[in-house]
Structure 1
Amino acid sequence: MSSLLSPDKKRERNWSDISHLAKNIFAVGLSLLVLVGGSLFAYQKISQSVSGVFAAKDYPGPGEADVTVVVEPGTSVSEIGGLLVDKDVVASIEAFTEATAQFPDIQSLQAGTYHLKTKMKATDAIQSMLDAGLKGGKKFRILEGLRLSEQVAALSKDTGISEGEINDALKRVDEYKLSAWAEGNPEGFLFPDTYEMTGSDPISPLKMMAENFTKKATDIKLEEKAKALGRSPRDVVIVASIIEAEVRRPEDRPKVARVLYNRLDKNMPLQLDTTVEYANNKPRGQGATTTDQERANPSPYNTYLHPGLPPGPISAPGKAALEAAAAPENGGWMYFVAVNLDTGETAFADTFDQHQANVKKFQEWCQSHQGRC
């Protein structure tokens, strides 16, 4: 069909069509721009929201309450992060891990006691710990089996803190978080170990030792095992302190624990020379026996005169002694005696006659080692 429009009209129609098409293209383009722009905006908002959800939880800092963190020798960097989270110093392990990337010298973090704040920014906490490490620390070693007075002397020697200051600090049991099982007396409840501290506050090392005791007791499930034995946790610690004072060989510790529990169950006096030495404040190592006069001391720690356990620990037990006291070996032994003081060999007996035979072996050893018993 031929067009009925004149050439001029055709030109007008063509321009009209072109104009309409251009407007349509412009509208579509504008819509696309709006759509794309809106998508970009939405993407940015979603991205920000997702980042917020998955970002490591961290505190803004600078921190709130004072808190002490004890890092034991051999603790890894990741374990340090766990300690900081447990103490509420940093908000999360993820925040700590991300923050460590900013510290190339993170592996130089030392064992020791750190005085920090709760709710610190992770980077601030790490920097504070590194700064404290650069100042240097004081190492001190507390051996197993020491009495409290001996622990104080060792602590004073290694740290330079006077014994008087330490003894005054020992009275402030709430400040260094002494175990409730101690009933206010730190004897036996300050854990023997090697430590490192900064500063000269006498509370700091006491807190390290008290918290380490609680940690070790938790690690070996002492309270749970004491309940299974029908004993109190305090009684188990007292038994552990006797084990620490009486025997050296690992294989003898659980057996000695069983002897003590067997005698207690039969209401037999324990008759331990180590408790008599403690009652008389007799220095350890001055012979393996006690005198009639020493055994006549009316002290409640004298287990020759008084039935049952002494009223408290007689030494600071290490982990092995605590484990033995909490998990004694099965057996019917009622007696034990060291038969060789050089090797620590200990003989066990079910009956008094068997025990007397073992005592004879000990006496023979003493006769061949004059001045040792």
Structure 2
Amino acid sequence: MGVAIALVVAGSVLTALALRSALGMDKVTDYPGPGSGQVAVTVKPGSGVLEVAQELQQDGVVADADTFVQAFADANGKIHPGDFTFKKQMKSSDAAQILAGNTAPVIYFALSAGMRVSDSLAAIAQAAGVNPNDLNALNSQPQQFGLPPQAKSLEGYLAPGEYKFPVGTPAKDIIAKLVSTTVDELKADGVTDPTKQYQDLIVASIVQAEGGQADYGNVAGAIYNRLKPNDQTNGLIQSDATVTYGLGTKTVQLTDAQKADPANPYNTYVHPGLPPGPIGSPGAKAVAAAAHPTPNNYLYWVTVNLDTGETKFASTYAQHQANVAQYQQWCTANPGKCH
């Protein structure tokens, strides 16, 4: 009978443990803390509390995401983007205090590759709450940021990307960081001379605008080929993007009159060589392509699908015309997308 009782008790324990596990009753919902080590967590703009909580649970910072969410609510916390340092196996209330306690707002903005300086400055002014006139004044004095005399503005130098600065950061310091990021990219690609940097930025900005999803290296190679003596281009880049920039518009459709207008200094259908300056802020890939173009025999390129960015290259004008016809067919099949 003693053996029978022992078996019954053992069976009851096993059953209870199985039931407890099935019901989640043995789940650890919180650590006693205070924790150890360091865990760096970046809260991105737009992140929700539950999303952050799940990441903290996955990283071993807290035991249970739901418990952390409740602790964060109890702390009256608000989510702000930024970098936070936690410990492994923290008590949820302690972790919530770290996230809720680092609520000092930051200046955050994102600049896309290809953005013109006017659009970039507008985004910075809005995010930083600074007077646009102050940024325009900085834009008109690029040499104070160490730029070569050829640069008449900051066009091309405001590196695209996501930025966070402490609230109150002077506008000049923000601009200096963006400019130095671009210059550092050029140096990393082996371009150290300021004049050569400026020329490469011009090419890179055209590559960024014209390349779409194409191989930037091939676009850069074709641009340099056009500038070399050949029997087809006469040193003309013939870029729609440069003409559009000179017109102050963003259309992808140009008239014959616009392409023939010599009054537009950025009209590379009329004026041989590089335009006077960059036509936007190129991304790192475009900068690298301008510094190290892919050797090829191309002279022409055209994006034949504006949705996918598919770009086709050609070595002769006849080949190019066939590619242009494909682009026109796409425009016909997609009304309104080419205007």
Q: Give TM class, smaller chain.
A: 0.5 to 0.7
Write 1 or 2 for the structure with the bigger share of helix: 1
Following TM superposition, by how much is the alpha carbon of 1:240 offset from its aligned partner in structure 2, in angstroms?
Answer: 0.1
What residue in structure 2 maps to residue 148 of structure 1? 117
The answer to whether the aligner puts 1:270 opposite 2:237 as a matched pair is yes
Runs of 4+ in 1 over 6 A off after TM superposition: none
Q: C-alpha offsets along residues 54-105 of structure 1, whole Å, 9 cap, x if unaligned?
A: xxxxxxxxxxxxxxxxxxx99xxxxxxxxxxxxxxxxxxxxxxxxxxxxxxx
Match of 1:256 among 215, 219, 222: 219
What residue in structure 2 maps to residue 105 of structure 1? none
What residue in structure 1 maps to residue 336 of structure 2? 371
**Alpha-carbon distance between aligned partners in 1 of 2:186 and 2:111, rounded to the nearest angstrom:** 17
**Alpha-carbon distance between aligned partners in 1 of 2:143 and 2:196, rounded to the nearest angstrom:** 22
What residue in structure 1 maps to residue 24 of structure 2? none
What residue in structure 1 maps to residue 6 of structure 2? none
Q: Pick closer, same or farther for the CA change 1:236–1:169 going to 2, 3 Å.
A: closer
The answer to whether the aligner puts 1:311 opposite 2:279 as a matched pair is no
Q: C-alpha offsets along residues 130-151 of structure 1, whole Å, 9 cap, x if unaligned?
A: xxx8744211211110111111
Equivalences for residues 66-77 of structure 1 within 5 A: none
Following TM superposition, by how much is the alpha carbon of 1:184 offset from its aligned partner in structure 2, in angstroms?
Answer: 4.3
Following TM superposition, by how much is the alpha carbon of 1:215 offset from its aligned partner in structure 2, in angstroms?
Answer: 1.5
Q: Pick closer, same or farther for the CA change 1:174–1:239 going to 2, 3 Å.
A: closer
What residue in structure 1 maps to residue 210 of structure 2? 246
What residue in structure 1 maps to residue 127 of structure 2? 158
Q: Pick closer, same or farther for the CA change 1:172–1:357 going to 2, 3 Å.
A: closer
What residue in structure 2 maps to residue 234 of structure 1? 198
Following TM superposition, by how much is the alpha carbon of 1:178 offset from its aligned partner in structure 2, in angstroms?
Answer: 3.9
**AA matched with 1:319:** A
Secondary structure at the residue paired with 2:224? Answer: helix
**Alpha-carbon distance between aligned partners in 2 of 1:134 and 1:372, rounded to the nearest angstrom:** 43
**Alpha-carbon distance between aligned partners in 1 of 2:336 and 2:217, rounded to the nearest angstrom:** 30
**Alpha-carbon distance between aligned partners in 1 of 2:221 and 2:149, rounded to the nearest angstrom:** 22
**AA matched with 2:204:** A
Larger Cα Rg: Structure 1 or Structure 2?
1
Following TM superposition, by how much is the alpha carbon of 1:299 offset from its aligned partner in structure 2, in angstroms?
Answer: 1.7
Following TM superposition, by how much is the alpha carbon of 1:173 offset from its aligned partner in structure 2, in angstroms?
Answer: 3.5
**Number of residue-to-residue matches in the alignment:** 235
Q: Is the 8 A contact 1:191 1:210 kept in 2?
A: yes
**Alpha-carbon distance between aligned partners in 1 of 2:260 and 2:316, rounded to the nearest angstrom:** 26
Q: Is the 8 A contact 1:181 1:234 kept in 2?
A: no
Q: Pick closer, same or farther for the CA change 1:232–1:200 going to 2, 3 Å.
A: closer
Equivalences for residues 30-179 of structure 1 within 5 A: 135-173=104-142, 175=144, 177-179=145-147
Q: Is the 8 A contact 1:178 1:184 kept in 2?
A: no
Q: Which segments of 5 or more consecutive residues in structure 2 lack a partner in the other structure?
A: 1-41, 44-81, 84-101
What residue in structure 2 maps to residue 204 of structure 1? 173
Q: Is the 8 A contact 1:197 1:204 kept in 2?
A: no
Match of 2:259 among 281, 284, 295: 295
**Alpha-carbon distance between aligned partners in 2 of 1:264 and 1:364, rounded to the nearest angstrom:** 30
Match of 1:334 among 288, 299, 302: 299
What residue in structure 1 maps to residue 51 of structure 2? none
What residue in structure 1 maps to residue 157 of structure 2? 189
Q: Is the 8 A contact 2:208 2:282 kept in 1?
A: yes
Secondary structure at the residue paired with 1:222? Answer: coil
